[in-house]
Structure 1
Amino acid sequence: MKKHSSFLLFFLITPLLAIAQVATELNPPDFIKTITFKSNTTQGQLPILKLGEPLVLEFDALTANEEDFYYVIEHFNFDWTPSNLVKSEYLSGLDQQRILDYENSFNTYQIYSHYNLEIPNTQTRGFLKSGNYMISIYDDYDELMFSRKFMIYEDLTNVGVQVKRSRDVTTIAEKQSIDMVITTNGMNLNNPLETIRTLVIQNNNLNTAISDLKPQYTLGNELIYRYKTESAFWAGNEYNFFENKDVRAANIGVQRIELKDLYHNYLYPNITRKNVPYTYNPDINGNFLITALDATDVSIEADYVMVHFTLLHPKLEGKSIYIYGNFNGFTLEPLTQMIYNKESQRYENIMLLKQGFYNYKYVSVDRKTGVLEEGAISGNFWQTENNYKVLVYYKDLGARYDRLIGFGEASSVDISN
C-alpha cells in the first residue's frame, strides 16, 4: 500500500513541477542563422504585436538539403510559466505544421535555404488571446532547433512613458530612470496592486528587463510609477556598428576585404570607451538590418561573410568578453566569445553573418559568478540614446491567464531631469 501511495504522490507532483518551469529560449545550431521577426515597422528578434497583426518569422538553414521544419506555438503567463489555457483557446487553427514557404539562395558563395513563416496562414488562422507566446521550430526528427519569445497585446490602456536621469545622485551620470502613467480608459481594474504587472524593456533586450513594478499612486483612473532606483537602467553607450552591403568593397566600419572560400571582412579594431568622454553617434539600439547592394530580394541574394572582430583591450583576469547584440537575441554563447591573442595582445573573434547593417558592443561576464556587466568595455553615460518599451499585464481575480492590455514606448532623446 505504501508503494502505491508513493507512485500516486509522484504522479500528482510531477505535473505541478512541469507547470512551474519557466520557459527559456533555445539558441539554434550553427547551421541555422539570421533568425528575424518582421512587422510593418521593425525587424529584429523581439516582436510585440497588436492582437490581429500578422507574425512573420524568417531564418536561414546553411545546408543544401532543403530540410523540413515544423513550428509549435505555446501560450505563457507573465512570468513565462505555462498558462492554463488549452491550445484551442488561444490559437485558431492548427500548429505543428511544416513551414511550406522556402527558397534557395541565388548567386551566393554560401549556399542556404531561406524559410519564411507567416501567421495567419491556411493551417494557423491567428491568435485569439493576448499575452506571452513562444514559437519553437523542430526538424524532421522532432528535435528542437530553436525557440523565440514574442508578445501580443490588446490596446485597452494608454501607457505614458518618460525617460529621466537617475534620481540617485551616486549614479546620476550613468543611469536612466523610467516613469510611467497607466490610464485605464474606463476599464474596471480590480485591485490593481495585485492584478496589474509591468515589464520595462531597454533596447529589446529581455535579459536586462525590469519586471513586476507596482503602482505607487492612484489618481482617478491613472496608475502612477515614479521610482527612485527600482526603475533605473544602466544607460550604456551608443553601439558600435558596421555595414557590409557590398562584399567587394570596404564600407562603414570595414577596414579590408579578402576572398577565400567566402568573403572575409576585417573590421576596424575597437577600443574601450569606458574612460573617454561620451560622443553622440546615431545607432539602431543594438538591432540589425539585412541589406545587400544591387539585390532584388535580399532574403536569398544577400551572401554570408566571415566577419573579423578585434578589441584592443588588455586581458581581463577571471572575466570573459562577448560580442553582444540583437543579431542573436543578446545571447552569451561560445560563438560570440572573444578569444585573447597573446601575440597581438588583443581580443579576436570571427563570426559568419549575413550581409547587412549590424549594431554590436562588447560586454564582460565574471566566470565565477556569471554576472554580466554591459558597461565594462563601452561605459555608461546618461546621454546615451536608448529605446524603452513598457508592457502592462492584467490578471483579474479568478482569471486563468495574464492578459497583455497595454503597450507604451519612449526614447531617451527626450530625457529630462
Structure 2
Amino acid sequence: MTSLKLGLNIIINKFTFIILITFISSSLQGQQVYETLPPNFIKTIEFFGSTDKFSGTPIISINETLNLKFDDLTAAENDYYYEIEHYNFDWTRSKLSKNEYLEGFDNIRLFDFRNSFTTLQPYTHYQLSLPNENTRRFKVSGNYMLYIYNTDKQLLFSRKFIVYENLVNVDLTIRRSRDLEVIDKKQVVNFEIGREDFFFRNPEQTVKTVVVQNNDFSTAIYNLKPQFTQGNTLIYRYNDESSFWGGNEYLNFDNKDIRQGTSRVERVELNDLYNSYLFPDFVRYGRAYTFNPDINGAFKINSIQGSDIDIESEYARVHFTLQNFKKLNGGEVHLYGRFNNYVLDDTTLMKPSKTQQNILTNELLLKQGFYNYKYVFLDKNGDFIEGFISGNHDITENDYQVIVYYRDVGARFDRVIGTGFGNGENIIN
C-alpha cells in the first residue's frame, strides 16, 4: 500500500511539474518584449536597410540587406555575438522555430571590427550585414529583434527591425484635422490598402496596421481597423484616431569640422576631448512657424578630418543650452531624436544651470556629424508632451509610414504584406 501511494505521489508530482513548465513556457511566449538599451560604453548605434538614407528602426523588404554599426569605447576588441528572434504584431514571441524564419544560423561572432585611427577617444568600430554567409536569408516577413551579446552571453543591447513582402499597395494622404480646436496643430493620416490580385479574408480580424511618424515608434498608432472596403481595397479615413501632433521642424548642429564653429556651433574647446558648445536654443511654443529644412530627427556621421568616417571621426562633448521661461511644475525637459532611438533617460535630461536662472543645460558624448534634435517635455505624471517646448504646427514637414500586417485564417504568425510612405509637406484640407 505504501509503495502504491509513493508511486502515485511521484506521478502526481511529475504531472504538476509538466503543467508548471507548460504554464511558464506559455507565459514567456505571450510576453511583450522591448528593446534593451546599450551600456554607456556602446555608442553611435547605426541600424539601417540598404536603401535607407538614415539610421533608425529599419523596415526592409524581404530581399533587402540590413546593416548594423556601433562603437565600443573600451577599445578592447571584445568578442560580440548576434542572435535573431521572430515576433508577432504585438511583439510577443511567435510560434515559429528558428529554421522556419531563418535560412542558416545565428549565434555567430561579429568578425568585422576595426580600431579607431588618430582619434582622441579610442574605440573599436563593429559592423554586421544581414543576410550573410552564415545567416543566409529571412524566410518570412514580420517583426524581428536583433540581439547583441558579449562572450559571457550577457545581453548588450537589442534593436527591432521589420521585414515586409510587397503584396499590397498602401497609399497615404496627409490632411489637416477636422477638429477646429487643433486644425492648425495636427496632421491626419488617411490611407488605403489593396491590390487587385490580393484578397483579404475577414479583414476586421486578419489585418492590423501601424502608422509611424518620422520613424518614431514610441508615438506610433497601432491596430486601426478598416472603416469600409471598395472591391479589394481597405479604406481608412479616420480623423482623431489617426492624427498626430504636427510638432515643429527639428533643430540641428553640424560638427563635421571638429576644430571650429559653424552656423550652429558657437565655439569649440579642446581638453581631453573636443567640446562643441552650441548656440543657446529658446522655447518655440507660441511663436510663428518658420520653415527650417531638417532630416526629421535623424543623424548622419561625417568628418572632414579623415577619409574613413567610421574609424576616423572624433567623439565630442556636445553642450546644449535652452533658455526656458516656462513653469515645469515638477516635469522634465529632455533632448529627443534618433541619435539614441528616441529614448528618454538620465542622459537626455536637461538640468538647471548652476550659474544662470531660467537656463537648462546638458552635454552628450556624440560622434562627429550632422544631428537633428528637439526638446520635449515629460510632466510629473510621466505623460509625454512633444509640443510643450517646440510648439505644434499643421504645416510641419513630417514623414509618415504605414505598415500592414496580415494573419490569414489558420495561420501561425503575422506577415507584413506591404508598407507605404507619405509626407506632410503638401498637406491638404
Counterpart of 2:366 in structure 1 is 353
Name whichever of 62-71 and 339-348 sits farther off.
Answer: 339-348
- Where 1:12 maps in the other structure, the secondary structure is helix
Partner SS, residue 171 of structure 1: coil
The answer as to whether partners of 1:199 and 1:213 remain within 8 angstroms in 2 is yes
- Alignment of 1:392 with 2:409, yes or no, is no
Give the Cα–Cα distance (whole angstroms) in 1 for the partners of residues 291 and 342 of structure 2: 23
Does the alignment pair 1:290 with 2:329? no
Residue 33 of structure 2 is matched in structure 1 by 23
Following superposition, the deviation at residue 326 of structure 1 comes to 0.4
Q: Which amino acid aligns with 2:40?
A: D
| Structure 1 residue 6: Cα displacement | 5.1
Structure 2 counterpart of 1:119, from 120, 130, 150? 130
Is the 1:264–1:305 Cα contact (8 Å) retained in structure 2?
A: yes
Matched to 1:63, the amino acid is T
Return the alpha-carbon distance in structure 2 between the equivalents of residues 178 and 140 of structure 1.
Answer: 45
Q: What amino acid does structure 1 have at the position aligned with 2:99? A: S
Superposed CA deviations along residues 82-111 of structure 1, whole A, max 9, x for unmatched, are: 111100011111101000001111111110
- Unaligned 5+ segments in structure 1 are none
Residue 305 of structure 2 contacts residue 313 of structure 2 at CA under 8 Å; is this kept in 1? no
Q: Deviations over 1:339-387 (max 9, x none)?
A: 11253121111110000000001111123x2111111100111010000
For 1:162 and 1:130, how far apart are their aligned partners in 2? 26
The 8 Å contact of residues 394 and 405 in structure 1, kept in 2 or not, is answered as yes
Say whether 1:262 aligns with 2:273: yes
- How far did residue 8 of structure 1 move? 4.4
Aligned equivalents of 2:404 and 2:67: distance in 1?
23
Cα shift at 1:3: 6.2
Deviations 1:389-411 (A, max 9, x none): 00001000110100000110010
**Residue from 322, 329, 332 that aligns with 1:320:** 332
Matched, 1:274 2:288: no
1:238 equivalenced with 2:249 (yes/no): yes
Asked whether 1:158 is paired with 2:174, we answer no
Which stretch has the larger CA shift, 313-322 or 254-263?
Answer: 313-322
Contact 2:199 2:232 in 1 (8 A): no
Aligned residues: 416
Structure-1-length-normalised TM-score: 0.97
Equivalent positions of 1:106-255 (< 5 A) are 106-255=117-266
Question: What code does the residue aligned with 2:375 have?
Answer: Y
Tell me the percent identity: 49
Find the counterpart in structure 2 of residue 409 from structure 1.
Answer: 421
Does the Cα contact within 8 Å between 1:35 and 1:45 map onto a contact in 2? Answer: no
In structure 2, stretches of 5+ residues that fail to align are 1-8
> What is the alpha-carbon distance in structure 2 between the residues aligned to residue 208 and residue 406 of structure 1?
21
Q: Distance in 2 between matches of 1:158 and 1:40?
A: 19
Deviation, structure 1 residue 5: 6.2
Task: Give the counterpart of 1:46 among 57, 76, 83.
Answer: 57
Q: d(CA) in 2 for partners of 1:353 and 1:73?
A: 28
CA shift for structure 1 position 119? 1.1
**Aligned equivalent of 1:63, options 48, 60, 74:** 74
Q: Which amino acid aligns with 1:347?
A: L
- SS of 1:376's partner is helix
- Paired amino acid for 1:349: N
Helix, strand or coil: the match of 2:410? coil
The structure with the largest alpha-carbon Rg is 2
Further displaced range: 247-256 or 32-41: 32-41
Measure the CA separation in 1 of the matches of 2:65 and 2:416: 17
Query: What is the alpha-carbon distance in structure 2 between the residues aligned to residue 8 and residue 133 of structure 1?
Result: 30
TM-fit CA distance, 1:150: 0.5
Q: Distance in 2 between matches of 1:178 and 1:236?
A: 15
CA shift, 1:46, in A, is 1.1
Cα separation, 2, equivalents of 1:180 and 1:195: 17
- Compute the TM-score of the two structures, normalised by the length of structure 2: 0.95
